[in-house]
Chain A
């Protein structure tokens, strides 16, 4: 394991081909524990409690978490995107006019749009969802000149009869235009569009960031925690008392195993890891290191944030089919209002499954709509995979 501030890459890494994305593996002992937990879940009856213990997080205020693990959850991805696009744009003439960026779901900050705004690139906005099915795009509607950015291709369609025409129309217009174009799409939506509409016939192979494995996460979180508001803060494992982000010679190189586990559980997705990391931080209510059995020397003036063991998030063994249909629709579309969900998932029309999923922590409100929680994504993906649903290619 390398030290936190060691860099094996001085240059910002660029994106890699989508097909080459290989989520980090769990350590062997952790994998064994996970198999045992899943086997145990086979014999667990009914819905035994919620899968995320929210009450354990109450000791850390949101404000303090925002100071020590500041949003956005994008990490260095925006810089890496820039490092990917600029060399491509600089190479004239362009080999292919399109650059397809495929990102995992639960990206709350719309990374590609943020990058486009930073670079002052023209961004093509999707039509509002309520008029999406009737929208028609022409070449004259394309904004600005030069590089055109279409962020969130999933916002250009809704899985409803008559609403695929808009995304077909968009692809035709982009094809007819002679402008270079960066298109981003959620991996689940791309999996759908690729097979249902053969969208990959007009697009190049997709690109994605390098998976965020243990060392990458450790570096990123160390940088996040390095600011004026976190002077004297130590992040200690509640199991070992070890300072996981230590840069002191005495403490070795931090707790690489914790971050290896975090990277594997988050499937190499930075925003999922970011949410799991925030959820794992605890403040000692008694102020005396009561949450750990390890003997830890706490220096005067030091504030310790304890890192609890990562919960094994699994869907309850018996989950209604309608819940899985809702998860699947939300992973494809991102955020949907209840009305839009009813249009795309007819099975839920008479049920209160959405409210139940929000209450149990799998979904969260996003304006008028709902979306999958990033922290719940590994469990949701696992549940859909187990039930045989079509997945993304990650």
Chain B
């Protein structure tokens, strides 16, 4: 009798096979998959062609919409398959805990970190982030990982798991621009006031400059020379490397025009080392 009772309970965990509508489940899964695929294609397409002000909002909406669609699908399918009672819930949760604890610990940790990332937003699609040694634009935020497109056009997949252990440096944090820095190491014998002013003009006359943000040129003396840093913002962070290149080219001209000469970075780094 006791054995029969246990068997009944186990059977009740899952609905009777004839009551499970496989067609409905397949439709839900396919529908969700199609909806997610559409969201992942249409929204980035519109973001690329629409107003730049709306780009980051649109891209940031992709993972949120996808998560909502998946959660909806899961909560729709579960009652079709399982006989949901409190007792059954405990059984499923216990079994899942054992499986996760032994086999899928990192995977599930990444999934949970992915949900946290969607809520806390340490990075969003369109942001420029540095995780470990990798710096690039977040092109997609999945449930398990994000994909970065680096300046060299390499796509790097970084699991959300890094969220628990690594520092994440977000350069623009949802804003359409970010601060760019151009470094110059100059031999100390020069007119620093004039050169600082010239480097400020270098930034002020750049075609990429967002002149709504202030241009700042800072300098400090180091054992091997004077270290100048131009801090300025391009109007579009997608131009950041062109902007820094432009600042560097014209900054070198300015340094030469002021009779100063640059100390090469090799000398600089070897000296600091």
**A residues whose Cβ falls under 8 Å from a Cβ of B:** 42, 159-164, 192, 195-197, 317-318, 321, 325, 328-329, 344-347, 385-390
Contacts and interface: CB of A to CB of B under 8 A. Distances in A.
A118 to B, nearest CB: 35
User: Which 4 pairs show the lowest CB-CB distances between chains A and B?
Assistant: A388-B52, A195-B211, A386-B51, A159-B205
A390 B176 contact: no
A328 B211 contact: no
Nearest to B205: A159
Given A195-B212, A196-B211, 4 more contacts: A161-B198, A161-B202, A162-B201, A387-B236
How extensive is the interface on chain B, given as a class? 20 to 34
Given A161-B201, A195-B212, A321-B239, A329 B207 contact: yes
A133 to B, nearest CB: 11
Interface in B194-211: 198, 201-202, 204-205, 207-211
Contact of B205 (A160, A317, A385): A160
A196 B53 CA distance: 22
Interface of B: 46, 49-53, 176, 198, 201-202, 204-205, 207-212, 215, 235-236, 239, 242, 246, 249-250, 253-254, 257
B210 to A, nearest CB: 6
A325 B235 CA distance: 11
A346 B211 contact: no
Contacts of B50: 42, 386
Contacts of A325: 207-208
A344 B250 contact: no
A196 B202 CA distance: 12
Nearest to A389: B235
Q: Is the interface of B mostly helix, strand, loop or mixed?
A: helix
Contact of B52 (A162, A192, A347, A386): A386
Contact of A344 (B207, B235, B236, B242): B207
A380 to B, nearest CB: 15
A5 B211 CA distance: 46
Contacts, number: 61
B49 A317 contact: yes
Candidate in B51, B204, B207, B254 with the most chain A CB atoms within 10 angstroms = B207
Contact of A388 (B53, B198, B201, B246): B53
A81 B242 CA distance: 43
A206 B72 CA distance: 56
Contacts of A346: 207, 246, 249
22 contacts: A42-B49, A159-B205, A161-B201, A161-B254, A162-B201, A163-B205, A164-B201, A192-B211, A197-B204, A317-B49, A318-B49, A325-B208, A344-B205, A344-B207, A386-B50, A386-B51, A386-B52, A387-B52, A389-B235, A390-B210, A390-B211, A390-B212
B205 A164 contact: yes
A344 B206 CA distance: 8
A328 B204 CA distance: 15
B176 A388 contact: yes
B242 A347 contact: yes
A231 to B, nearest CB: 48
Nearest to B251: A161
Contacts of B239: 321
Contacts of B46: 42
B139 to A, nearest CB: 19
A346 B202 CA distance: 13
B198 to A, nearest CB: 7
A197 B211 CA distance: 10
